[in-house]
């Protein structure tokens, strides 16, 4: 078994990814907050607990929209060399994944509505094997995601020849 040199310099993803994360969080939390307001009016209006549920949900929602995306962004990065891709992520749980190019089956670049809105893309690397066979790297610029895809594809072709 050959040991790979692990790239030491981790590069951050695009700053626009923070806003994409915030928009995704808002899509979840705003309806939950509205539902808590309705629940409060219908069930708790004349009780001692009136206003408590929307206040708690609002505080959680604000932290989920403002604080969490920043922490997720700061703990997401990648490194690329001529033989492997390394992704590092994790706020509560740290994950450091190394993908040797010889294990890559195929590569996708995906962009959802928020990615298009904020100028980001996700590189999806499918590898041989079953456990962790799909490695995603969100928050790249579409151009950078395409560059990495082409670099990996070039290395795969070179290894096959």
Asked if the model's pLDDT at residue 135 lies above 70, the reply is yes
Strand partners, 104: 127
Question: Is 116 a domain residue?
Answer: yes
What confidence tens digit (pLDDT) does each residue in 88-122 have? 998 788 899 999 998 899 999 999 999 999 999 99
Question: Is 58 a domain residue?
Answer: yes
The pTM of this model reads 0.84
Question: Is 5 a domain residue?
Answer: no
Strand partners, 77: 12, 88
Handedness of CA 86, 10, 153, 15 (dihedral sign): positive
Residue 161: both structure tokens together? 């020849």
Question: Is 8 a domain residue?
Answer: no
User: Considering 48, 72, 96, which residue would you say is the last residue of a domain?
Assistant: 72
Q: Are residues 84 and 45 in the same domain?
A: no
Nearest to 123 by CA among 139, 137, 103, 112: 137
93: three-class secondary structure by DSSP: coil
Nearest to 108 by CA among 75, 86, 140, 72: 140
Q: Are residues 47 and 98 in the same domain?
A: no
Q: Are residues 82 and 156 in the same domain?
A: yes
pLDDT bracket for residue 8 (50, 70, 90): low
Q: Are residues 68 and 93 in the same domain?
A: no
Cα–chain center distance at 54: 28
Asked if the model's pLDDT at residue 132 lies above 80, the reply is no
Domain that holds residue 91: 77-160
Q: Are residues 53 and 21 in the same domain?
A: yes
pLDDT bracket for residue 159 (50, 70, 90): low
Cα–chain center distance at 89: 8
Q: Are residues 64 and 82 in the same domain?
A: no
First-to-last alpha carbon distance for the chain, in angstroms, is: 21
Q: Are residues 67 and 90 in the same domain?
A: no
Measured CA to CA, the distance from residue 81 to residue 5 in angstroms comes to 9
Asked if the model's pLDDT at residue 18 lies above 90, the reply is yes
pLDDT bracket for residue 2 (50, 70, 90): very low
| 54 C-beta neighbours (distance < 10 Å), count | 20
Q: Tell me, what CATH number does 121's domain have?
A: 2.30.29.30
What confidence tens digit (pLDDT) does each residue in 39-85 have? 999 988 888 888 899 999 999 999 999 999 999 999 999 999 888 99
Count of domains observed in the chain = 2
């Amino acid at each position: 078994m050959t040991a790979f040199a692990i790239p030491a310099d981790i590069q951050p993803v695009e700053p626009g990814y923070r806003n994409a994360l915030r928009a995704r969080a808002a899509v979840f939390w705003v309806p939950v907050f509205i539902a808590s307001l309705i629940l409060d009016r219908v069930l708790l209006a004349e009780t001692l607990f009136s206003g408590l549920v929307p206040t708690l949900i609002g505080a959680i929602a604000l932290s989920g929209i403002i604080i969490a995306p920043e922490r997720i962004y700061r703990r997401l990065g990648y490194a690329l060399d001529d033989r492997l891709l390394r992704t590092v992520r994790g706020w509560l749980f740290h994950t450091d994944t190394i993908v040797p190019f010889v294990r890559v089956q195929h590569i996708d670049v995906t962009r959802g509505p928020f990615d298009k809105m904020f100028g980001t893309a996700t590189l999806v690397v499918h590898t041989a094997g079953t456990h962790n066979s799909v490695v995603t790297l969100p928050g790249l610029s579409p151009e950078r995601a395409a560059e990495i895809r082409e670099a990996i594809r070039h290395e795969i072709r070179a290894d096959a020849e």
